[in-house]
């Protein structure tokens, strides 16, 4: 009888596997956290999008909680999320843009057309800051706390729900 | 294996394949060892954007950037482990096709070895049991029946 | 008018097929349990009817493709009026819905065949097999009708033209690869049905293994060809020259192949010696379960290999439920009905029995390893331990040594006797072959290339170690005939099947070892007039031309290739294509295949100064990979032509006489 009971573990074991698969069905396999989570914002040196003579570096991101949004004129989702970014700026959150793999003219015309929620835009035509941030597509948004530590990462389009359900609570948490 | 590459082939079912052979680009190295290291490194890192392709095979922009960075770091004379760390710091462990041996991967590397040991044990146990099986194969009851059969045959 | 209703006709045919499958499940199973011949008699006509109606549905979908009926969503999404007619026909299975329909058609076809060719079996056994085949069919037909209807219409807004078939799939590889693979996957359902029927009927004797063996062999042969074709397709179509990527999709096909291989061997032990009975049944269940699980993994979107269905979780859920019911039920039946007392058949360390046991254990370890590597990232993620990837380096690191160990035992297996063998006899049979394998394995790579490579040598030693003892055995066996030829004729086809199967593995191993260690490649800048030399071949770009195909435009490089040793000349024409309907670029490689080497040229980027980046590869022995696969499949087919299966099919129960006959044949003189 002992052997029977042992054999009955087989179907039970498989049911566990099936449950595991069921749980996996709810997951998006491509969802991943940034490798920079809880680490310092990368060291960089760049000029700003508006002013080729103004130099900025990572100290830009200290003293206040900042949302860093990586965008480009070539990226359709960036256009779609602009109203949400403007709304976030209205909440008094400091917004910094990273103009990623773009030209100055195209970046400026984008801001003129869709609005400019950013206090400053870091000009990153070669994508080197983007690379150090582990960005592999735009838009991506990072929440950096007052000490310059990355606390939250949002990959892709920010929907109006994301603003109220994710981003605003995260900002409140790290302020 | 020089040409082990990975790809996203949903061999049949997806319409989102874009397996254009990427990474066919001109790289100049001073020596063949460096070229080989470049090939090995770009074959062992996974494109973070594509579904399942090595950066050496992918034509996505991020893979091109990563290949360029690997090339630069090699030219600067960095070691393979430094280059790998450099990439992992930015894109995470996800990009390593060869998972590191650490606490969470002990089972991954250990289980096959454990299975090998268990397999040896099973073979030993079964064969030892079976070597002596013939003696026990017939129970007393069966032996009696066999004798009866033989008896009948003899008499007929 | 009628032609406009073809999709509805197909849909309707599927519904009728489903109803027939339901009857086929209930009546024969109930009849077998209650011993009512009339109920059991429902099985065969339902199997025939189901097959005919699914075939009708399949024909309807094919017709919609052939006549460009873009009001059918499936056609509109996967075809185009410019597509050549043969791709229109193969596009039917180049997508999810159509491929599930093909799968169901094959399932019904196998069900019909199992029903048709089992006339000599006990009534209740046939009835149970039919019922189980019907049960699986019900699952897949419901899957099609509820979640993946290929006949769904796009009304009233019918598109003017279709979105086109993915260019990667516009290829002869796509025409032949999936049907072969599915025939293998689905074929194991027959073996599964026999196993469950044997469990249910309490007929777990040598007879069921004899009935199951031919079906196992043929399904395995199909799967082998399917996997080989898939590898060949990836090799020439994807443009990297790789032939195995350890992608989850590939792993999903390798898993049932490994357990199927184990099953073939364990069936032999169970049939000939009566041991390992429960284990053989369990392997039959595992093999089909892994086919189903592969389908789930590939089509549900849980793995990062495929994401086409991530947007429709109902499909993944449906297959999961189907998988859970089938596997849990069958394992439950196994747990309750597996034979309690095993016959203690004796064998010693050195015996074919023990070697086949080792074979099975090694194959199971390989299976678990691949399954583990494929699922491990998902497990870690579910436990919140982060995202990792498990790729080729992991699989190679474990699979290669396991294969080498397997080869060691494969050399012994075919020459060993059942039950026991004196060590002296084994050594006597093997020392020459072993010595020759070692010597040749070390020397051949040196002669071939002048540079020695440990891994290549190891591969060749392993391959020779498999082949040479078998040859020696053949020589020994023929010694007893009046002439050598008569001796050869006396050997059974089943024996030749085994020889071919093992030879196939050896050929594949040689291919893997040589191409992995002696391949060379160069990526170069080429413009008209540029000359490049690689592995004894001189490539000169003659000209660059533009051409227009049926549904694409292309830049073609015309290369003159000169073999420096033989002085032979030929041309190669790699292309960069741009498909008009999808807007997709494609690399069309130029291949010069050969038994001893392939030349492989892929066009890269346009460097904008009149030159192009080109990757030129020299791939020695790469054909041996697939040649080996074909030999293995041929071996599997040869073994079932053996008349003893056909006779026992007709005779039904295992007869002691035929049993003795087999033993007499197998024991080495």
Of the listed ranges B56-65, C461-470, C660-669, the least confidently predicted one is: C660-669
Residue C632 pLDDT > 90, yes or no? yes
Rounded to the nearest angstrom, the minimum Cα separation between C15 and chain B is 24
Query: Model confidence at C69, in pLDDT bands (50, 70, 90)?
Result: very high
Domain boundaries, chain B: 1-98, 103-155
Rounded to the nearest angstrom, the minimum Cα separation between A7 and chain B is 17
Contacts of B52 in chain C (CB under 8 A): 247-248, 304-305
**What is the predicted ipTM?**
0.89
Residue C315, class by beta-carbon neighbours within 10 Å (0-12 exposed, 13-18 middle, 19+ buried)? buried
Residue C316 pLDDT > 50, yes or no? yes
Look up the CATH superfamily of A35-174: Glutaredoxin (3.40.30.10)
* A83-98 per-position pLDDT tens digit: 999 999 999 999 999 9
Residue C478 pLDDT > 60, yes or no? yes
Phi, then psi, of C590 in degrees rounded to 5 = -100, 130
Q: Kindly report the pTM of this predicted structure.
A: 0.90
List the beta bridge partners of residue C602.
C615
Q: Which of C289, C290, C302, C380 to mutate to test the interface with A (most CBs of A within 10 A)?
A: C302
Contact C424, B138 (CB under 8 A): no
Residue C266 pLDDT > 90, yes or no? yes
Residue C475 pLDDT > 90, yes or no? no
Instruction: Measure the CA–CA gap between C133 and C100, rounded to whole angstroms.
Output: 16
DSSP conformation letters of chain A: -HHHHHHHHHHHHHHHHHHHHHHHHTS-TT----TTTTSBPPP-EEEBSS-TT-EEEGGGG-SS-EEEEEE-TT-HHHHHHHHHHHHHHHTT-EEEEEEES--HHHHHHHHHHH----SEEEEETT-HHHHHTT--SS-EEEEE-TTSBEEEEEES---HHHIIIIIHHHHHHH-
Residue C100 pLDDT > 90, yes or no? yes
Instruction: Measure the CA–CA gap between C658 and C635, rounded to whole angstroms.
Output: 22
Listed residue (C73, C67, C91, C70) closest to C2, CA to CA: C67
pLDDT of residue C459: 94
Q: How far, in Å, are A74, A109, A124, C199, C369 from residue A102 at the CA level?
A: 8, 11, 7, 68, 46
Give the residue-averaged pLDDT of C522-551: 92
pLDDT of residue C595: 93
Give the residue-averaged pLDDT of C448-465: 90
pLDDT of residue C307: 38
Listed residue (C376, C378, C285) closest to C330, CA to CA: C285
Give the residue-averaged pLDDT of C511-533: 92
Query: Model confidence at C311, in pLDDT bands (50, 70, 90)?
Result: low
Residue C116: half-sphere exposure toward Cβ, Cα within 13 Å:
10
Average pLDDT taken over every residue of chain C? 88
Strands C585-588 and C575-579: antiparallel
Contacts of A30 in chain C (CB under 8 A): 304, 307
Query: Model confidence at C570, in pLDDT bands (50, 70, 90)?
Result: very high
The reply to whether A101 touches chain B by the CB within 8 Å rule is yes
Instruction: Measure the CA–CA gap between C368 and B110, rounded to whole angstroms.
Output: 12
pLDDT of residue C1: 61
pLDDT of residue B21: 59
How much of chain C exceeds pLDDT 90, in percent?
Answer: 64
Instruction: Measure the CA–CA gap between C306 and C526, rounded to whole angstroms.
Output: 36
Reply yes or no on domain B1-98 having CATH 2.40.50.100.
no
Residue C21 pLDDT > 60, yes or no? yes
Query: Model confidence at C207, in pLDDT bands (50, 70, 90)?
Result: confident
Strands A66-71 and A140-144: antiparallel
The reply to whether B149 touches chain A by the CB within 8 Å rule is no
First to last CA, chain C: 72
pLDDT of residue B20: 54
Query: Model confidence at C71, in pLDDT bands (50, 70, 90)?
Result: very high
Residue C329 pLDDT > 60, yes or no? yes
Q: CB–CB of C327 and A14 under 8 A?
A: yes
Domain boundaries, chain A: 35-174
Residue C12, class by beta-carbon neighbours within 10 Å (0-12 exposed, 13-18 middle, 19+ buried)? middle
Give the residue-averaged pLDDT of C437-446: 90
pLDDT of residue B112: 95
Contacts of B95 in chain C (CB under 8 A): 389
* A56-85 per-position pLDDT tens digit: 999 998 888 999 999 999 998 999 999 999
Tokens of A66: 């900042």
Give the residue-averaged pLDDT of C496-517: 95
Residue C76 pLDDT > 70, yes or no? yes
Alpha helices in C169-309 (DSSP H): 172-201, 206-237, 248-273, 277-300
pLDDT of residue C345: 77
C549-558 burial by CB neighbour count: b if 16+ within 10 A, else e? eebbebbbbb
Residues 99-138 of B with CB under 8 A from C: 99, 104-105, 107-108, 111-112, 115-116, 119, 122-123, 126-127, 129-134, 136-137
Give the residue-averaged pLDDT of C46-60: 97
pLDDT of residue C56: 97
Residue A30 pLDDT > 80, yes or no? no
pLDDT of residue C128: 96
* C137-152 per-position pLDDT tens digit: 999 999 999 999 999 9
Phi, then psi, of A55 in degrees rounded to 5 = -100, 140
Instruction: Measure the CA–CA gap between C100 and C374, rounded to whole angstroms.
Output: 23
Of the listed ranges A19-33, B26-40, C45-59, the least confidently predicted one is: A19-33
Query: Model confidence at C406, in pLDDT bands (50, 70, 90)?
Result: very high
């Amino acid at each position: 009888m002992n052997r029977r009971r042992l054999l009955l573990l087989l179907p039970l074991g498989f049911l566990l596997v099936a449950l595991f698969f069921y749980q996996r069905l709810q997951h998006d396999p491509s969802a991943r956290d940034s490798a920079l989570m809880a680490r310092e914002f990368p060291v960089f040196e760049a000029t700003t999008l508006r002013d080729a003579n103004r130099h900025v570096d990572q100290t830009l991101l200290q003293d206040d909680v900042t949302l860093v949004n990586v965008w480009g004129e070539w990226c359709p989702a960036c256009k779609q999320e602009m109203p949400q970014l403007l709304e976030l700026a209205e909440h008094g959150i400091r917004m910094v843009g990273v103009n990623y793999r773009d030209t100055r003219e195209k970046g400026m015309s984008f801001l003129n057309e869709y609005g400019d929620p950013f206090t400053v835009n870091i000009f990153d035509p070669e994508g080197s800051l983007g690379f150090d941030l582990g960005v592999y597509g735009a838009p991506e948004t990072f929440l950096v706390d007052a000490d310059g530590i990355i606390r939250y990462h949002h990959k892709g389009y920010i929907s109006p729900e994301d603003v109220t359900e994710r981003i605003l609570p995260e900002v409140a948490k790290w302020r | 294996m020089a040409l082990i590459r990975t790809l996203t082939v949903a061999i049949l079912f997806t319409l989102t394949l874009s397996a254009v052979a990427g990474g066919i680009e001109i790289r100049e190295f001073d020596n063949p060892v460096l070229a080989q290291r470049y090939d090995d490194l770009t074959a062992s890192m996974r494109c973070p954007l594509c579904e399942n392709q090595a950066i050496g095979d992918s034509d996505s922009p991020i893979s091109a950037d990563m290949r360029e960075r690997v090339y630069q770091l090699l030219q600067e004379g960095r070691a393979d482990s430094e280059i790998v760390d450099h990439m992992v710091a930015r894109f995470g462990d996800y990009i390593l096709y060869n998972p590191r041996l650490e606490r969470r991967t002990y089972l991954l590397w250990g289980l096959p070895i454990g299975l090998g040991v268990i397999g040896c044990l099973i073979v030993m146990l079964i064969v030892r049991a079976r070597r002596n099986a013939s003696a026990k194969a017939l129970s007393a009851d069966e032996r009696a029946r066999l004798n009866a059969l033989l008896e009948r045959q003899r008499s007929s | 008018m009628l032609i406009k209703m073809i999709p509805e006709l197909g849909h309707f045919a599927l519904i009728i097929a489903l109803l027939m499958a339901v009857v086929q499940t209930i009546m024969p199973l109930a009849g077998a349990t209650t011993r009512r011949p009339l109920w059991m008699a429902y099985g065969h006509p339902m199997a025939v009817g189901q097959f005919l109606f699914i075939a009708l549905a399949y024909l309807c979908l094919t017709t919609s493709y052939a006549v460009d009926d873009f009001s059918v969503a499936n056609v509109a999404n996967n075809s185009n009026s410019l597509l050549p007619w043969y791709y229109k026909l193969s596009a039917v299975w180049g997508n999810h819905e159509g491929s599930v329909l093909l799968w169901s058609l094959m399932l019904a076809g196998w069900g019909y065949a199992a029903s048709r060719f089992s006339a000599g079996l006990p009534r209740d056994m046939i009835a149970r097999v039919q019922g189980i085949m019907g049960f699986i069919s019900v699952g897949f037909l419901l899957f099609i009708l509820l979640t993946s209807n290929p006949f769904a219409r796009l009304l009233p807004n019918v598109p003017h033209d279709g979105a086109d078939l993915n260019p990667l799939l516009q290829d002869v590889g796509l025409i032949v690869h999936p049907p072969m693979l599915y025939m293998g996957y689905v074929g194991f359902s027959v073996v599964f049905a026999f196993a469950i029927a044997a469990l249910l009927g309490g007929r777990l004797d040598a007879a069921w293994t004899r009935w199951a063996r031919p079906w196992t062999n043929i399904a395995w042969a199909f799967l082998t060809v399917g996997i080989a074709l898939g590898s060949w397709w990836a090799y020439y179509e994807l443009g990297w020259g790789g032939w195995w990527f350890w992608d989850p999709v590939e792993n999903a096909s390798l898993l049932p192949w490994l357990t199927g291989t184990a099953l073939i061997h364990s069936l032999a032990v169970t049939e000939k010696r009566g041991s390992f009975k429960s284990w053989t049944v369990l392997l039959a269940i595992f093999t089909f379960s892994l086919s189903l699980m592969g389908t789930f993994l590939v089509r549900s979107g849980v793995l990062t290999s495929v994401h086409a269905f991530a947007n429709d979780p109902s499909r993944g859920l449906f297959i999961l439920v189907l998988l859970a019911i089938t596997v849990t039920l069958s394992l439950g039946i196994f747990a309750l009905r597996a034979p309690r007392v095993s016959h203690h058949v004796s064998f010693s360390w050195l015996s074919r029995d023990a070697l086949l046991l080792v074979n099975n254990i090694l194959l199971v370890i390989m299976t678990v390893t691949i399954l583990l590597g494929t699922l491990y990232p998902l497990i870690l993620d579910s436990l919140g331990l982060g995202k990792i990837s498990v790729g080729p380096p992991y699989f190679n690191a474990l699979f290669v040594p396991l294969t080498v160990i397997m080869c060691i035992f494969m050399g012994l297996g075919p020459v060993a006797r059942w039950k026991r063998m004196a060590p002296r006899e084994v050594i006597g049979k093997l020392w020459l072959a072993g010595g020759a394998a070692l010597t040749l394995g070390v020397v051949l790579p040196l002669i071939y290339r002048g540079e020695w490579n440990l891994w290549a040598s190891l591969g060749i030693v392993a391959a020779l170690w498999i082949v040479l003892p078998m040859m020696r055995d053949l020589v020994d066996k023929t010694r007893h005939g009046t002439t050598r030829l008569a001796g050869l004729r006396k050997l059974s086809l089943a024996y030749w099947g085994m020889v071919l199967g093992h030879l196939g593995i050896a050929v594949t191993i040689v291919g893997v070892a040589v191409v992995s260690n002696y391949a060379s490649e160069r990526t170069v800048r080429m413009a008209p007039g540029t000359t490049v030399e690689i592995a004894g071949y001189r490539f000169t770009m003659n000209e660059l031309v533009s051409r227009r195909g049926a549904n694409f435009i292309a830049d073609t490089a015309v290369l003159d290739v000169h073999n420096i040793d033989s002085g032979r000349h030929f041309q190669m024409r790699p292309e960069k294509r741009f498909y008009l309907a999808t807007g997709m670029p494609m690399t069309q490689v130029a291949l010069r295949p050969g038994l001893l080497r392939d030349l492989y040229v892929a066009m890269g980027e346009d460097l904008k100064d009149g030159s192009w980046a080109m990757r030129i590869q020299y791939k020695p022995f790469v054909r041996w990979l697939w040649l080996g696969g074909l030999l293995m499949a041929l071996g599997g087919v040869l073994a079932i032509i053996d008349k003893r299966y056909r006779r026992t099919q007709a005779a039904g129960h295992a007869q002691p006489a035929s049993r003795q006959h087999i033993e007499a044949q197998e024991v080495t003189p």
